[in-house]
Every structure is written in C-alpha cells, then in structure tokens.
Structure 1
Amino acid sequence: MTRQAKHGLSAAQLDALCGHWPGVSRDTKWGVDRVFSVGSKMFAVMPSDGSEGGRLSCKVADQRFLELTDQPGIIPAPYLARAHWISIVEPQRFATAELEAFVLDAYTLVRAKLTKKLQAALGPLPTVKARK
C-alpha cells in the first residue's frame, strides 16, 4: 500500500479524484495536457506526463482570482486568465487537500453555468473526503 503525498497532486491523483464525478469527461489536448470537463466545459488541466512541475490549472471564482494570483506559486493561467483561471505552477507548495478543494470548486463553478436541466440530470454535487 502506497501513501498519498501530503503536498502536490499528481496526474493519477487528479484522475482518481474527479474522474468519477457526475458528467466528467477526460480528454488530451495541446500535446500532453489532460483536460477535465463537465458538460463539455473545461474545469481543470494538468500535463499527463508530470512535465512543467506538475502544473495544475483550474477555474476559480471571480472574486478570488486576484487574491490567489498574489500567492507565491500561483499565476494567471496563460490564455485563460480573462476567464478567471489560475495556474498553480508550484503545486508542491500546497497541501494535497487544498489542491483537491481548488479542483472541486472549479467543477462546481463550471457545473453551475450548465443548463438547469443538465445540472439536475447530473445529480448531487461530489464532495472531497477530509484527510486524517
């Protein structure tokens, strides 16, 4: 049995976290970037091969964008910053649970923009289990 890292988030951990959430699809774009979407709308992106230091990009709430991009290790996501996406370029600085919360928040934000009918068809929102 392997122990999960307490900091950072690997591509395999990201896949295990949100790959089974309602309506989530996975796709590879731009070479090696694993893209997670709900209702055909992206909510998280990470290189599948661990390149770029395991960079994690995701959608954040509009009001948190400036706060988060002021933190060391987080920058506005290239090409997606205008849509309030961040890129966590130093994921090892952050606890795994914190990164998982960013991904869940991104999923929730994007899912909330889907039609009410599609949201209802997806069922209840997922949760992230608390770590001991």
Structure 2
Amino acid sequence: MSLFSRPDFEAYVRGLTGTTLVDQWDARIAKVGNKVFALLTDGENRLAFKVSEESFEILTSLKGVSQAPYFAKRKWVTVEPATELNEADLVEYIGRSYRTVAGSLTRKVQAELGIIL
C-alpha cells in the first residue's frame, strides 16, 4: 500500500466513517461532514493533512515535509513521496486529521454520518 497512489489513498480514506471524496484544487480531496481532512495532489502525488501545533513543528523539520500552501496557518503539512515518514506514520497522521475534523462537527452531523469518536 502507498497512500501516495490514488487507489490506495481512496481505499484508506473510504474506510473512515462518513468520508466523501471529491476532485477539487487539482487534487483528490477527502472530506468528512463537508470539511477537508486530507488530500492527494494530482501529478505530483503529494499528501496534505491537518496536524496539531506540536506535530506541525516536528513534522516540518523532517525531510520531505513542509507547510502546506494556503493551509499552513491552520497547521496543515504537505508530504512528498521521498519523506522520512513511513506508511504507518502517514496512516496515523491522516487518521488523527480525520478525528480532529470529525470532532469539530456538531453532534447532530456526527450522528447523521454515524461517527463515533
């Protein structure tokens, strides 16, 4: 599995309750409750996802990880395929991004989507 490939990215995020996928901003966008939690860019195959402030500082010091354009002030990172992070790390960080964004949804929306956090 490689989250940098569109089929694997889609398969992973589809496994997260209430997720929808759309093509937008020259990327494959994963949303929960109509809020973005991860994306895979077309062509360059870079991942982007939301992280905590602490993780943002740590991750952006690693090779292949940088502030996400247009999202950096909201603590998003962009990860290149040549990153120091392994697949398990990426799965964990995208899962955290999902839980953070899903947790920001109203209880009503969470219930409608079947999300249990």
TM-score range with shorter-chain normalisation? 0.7 to 0.9
Q: Which runs of 5+ in 1 are unaligned?
A: 126-132
Q: Percent of counterpart pairs with the same letter?
A: 29
Give CA deviations for 1:77-106 in whole Å, capped at 9, x if unaligned.
Answer: 000001110000235532211111111011
- Number of residue pairs the alignment of both structures matches: 116
> Is contact 2:35–2:101 with CA below 8 Å preserved after alignment?
yes
TM-superposed deviation, 1:23: 1.2
- 3-state DSSP of counterpart to 2:12: helix
Calculate the TM-score normalised by the size of structure 2.
Answer: 0.87
Q: What one-letter code is carried by the residue in structure 1 that aligns with 2:55?
A: R
Whole-angstrom CA distance in 1 between matches of 2:84 and 2:56: 18
Q: 1:10 corresponds to which letter in structure 2?
A: S
- Which of 62, 80, 84 pairs up with 2:75? 84
Q: Could you tell me which amino acid in structure 1 is paired with residue 40 of structure 2? A: M
- The TM-score normalised by the length of structure 1 is 0.78
Paired residues for 1:1-132 under 5 Å: 4=1, 9-31=4-26, 33-48=27-42, 51-52=43-44, 54-91=45-82, 93-121=84-112, 122-125=114-117
* 5+ long unaligned stretches in structure 2: none
Q: Distance in 1 between the 2:52 and 2:82 partners? A: 19
